[in-house]
Amino acid sequence: MTIFSVMRRPKWIRALVYALLLAAVFALLGQWQLSRAVTSNGPDPRATTESVTPLTQVATAGQPVFEAQDGQMVSVTGSLVAPDFSIVSSRLNGGVQGYWVVGRFDLSESQVGTLTSVAVALGWSADRSRAESVAAGLNSTPTFAPQQLIGRYVGTDGPDVTAAQGKTAADFVPSTMAISALINQWSGFPETASVFGGYVVAQTPVDSLAAIDSPVPVRTTEINWLNIFYAIEWVIFAAFAIFFWYRLVKDAWEREVEEAELETQSELERYN
């Protein structure tokens, strides 16, 4: 008698079917757990962010930029405001360090009802003197005609506190696009006015500046290692269900072999 002959008995075939069903349930639970371990933050950004939408429909002035808003292509109608143009350093464009020319854009009151502004990044230059020249030229412009500006709405950076230490306002060139810091530089900006929590990277640069790199936001993927651990546990349970059936069959076979040996030994002793 072999262990395989025991396995072929109806009793153990039925037990195998139950074990396989149990293992299948464990495997499905493991697959479900694994599917929840890797998550993507939202749909493909190209399907949502690249449709130009009025900024007032995307975000609310005075509110932070939420994940669903960050990177959205928007349009704003209003006008640039002088003399609130400046430069921001350490801006990469195509992997090259350079400078942004940034400023203030007041939305038309027909859109928002009250004075509401948004910071705008208007172009990039590798040369600081060129960026400063463009900013100075914009600051010397008395008034700007109303226009529609299209660009990507981006969340604010943190203030460049460390770089500002020990420097005067005239010498300091920020390296971050911090809305809170820009507001402090805007002349005659009333305390009752509203400001959007992010800024708009203009699609079309001003003067001879280069367009700022503003790629489509990357969809991030998160891995939940706890769910992966649970999935592994379910796989182990599935394997154990089959192993448990095998151990029961093996124990039954060993018991029968032992009983047969004892019976043979007793028969031999009887004849002797």
Quick check: 122 and 205 in contact, CB under 8 A?
yes
Other beta carbons within 10 Å of 88 = 23
Q: Cα–Cα distance between 258 and 219 in angstroms, integer?
A: 64
User: Both tokens of residue 207?
Assistant: 């003067």
* Cis peptide upstream of residue 83 (ω within 30 degrees of 0): yes
Residue 123, pLDDT score: 97
Q: What does the pLDDT read at residue 45?
A: 52
pLDDT, position 219: 67
The span from the CA of 84 to the CA of 103, in Å, is: 6
Residue ranges covered by each domain of the chain: 3-37+223-271, 45-219
- C-alpha dihedral (148, 154, 159, 163), degrees to nearest 10: -90
| pLDDT at position 168 | 52
Residue 207 in contact with residue 137, Cβ under 8 Å?
yes
Find out whether 121 and 135 touch, Cβ atoms under 8 Å: no
| pLDDT tens digit sequence for 93-123 | 999 999 999 999 999 977 777 889 999 999 9
Comparing CA positions, the residue from 255, 260, 251, 253 lying closest to residue 4 is: 253
- Provide the pLDDT for residue 98: 96
Q: Give the C-alpha separation, 40 to 187, whole Å.
A: 43
Residue 21: its pLDDT value, please?
Answer: 95
Q: State both tokens at 190.
A: 């009333």
End-to-end CA distance of the chain: 26
Relative to beta strand 53-54, strand 96-107 is unpaired
- Three-state DSSP string of the chain: CCHHHHHCCHHHHHHHHHHHHHHHHHHHHHHHHHHCCEEECCCCHHHCCCCCEEHHHHCCCCCCCCCCCCCEEEEEEEEEEEEEEEEEEEEEECCEEEEEEEEEEEECHHHHCCCEEEEEEEEEECCHHHHHHHHHHHHCCCCCCCEEEEEEEEECCCCCHHHHCCCCCCCCCCCCCCHHHHHHHCCCCCCCCEEEEEEEEECCCCCCCECCCCCCCCCCEEECHHHHHHHHHHHHHHHHHHHHHHHHHHHHHHHHHHHHHHHHHHHHHHHC
Of 215, 212, 45, 218, give the one whose Cα is nearest residue 120.
212
Low-confidence stretches of the chain (pLDDT < 70) are: 40-47, 161-171, 219-220, 272
Question: Rounded mean pLDDT of the chain?
Answer: 88
Rounded CA separation 158/179 (Å): 8
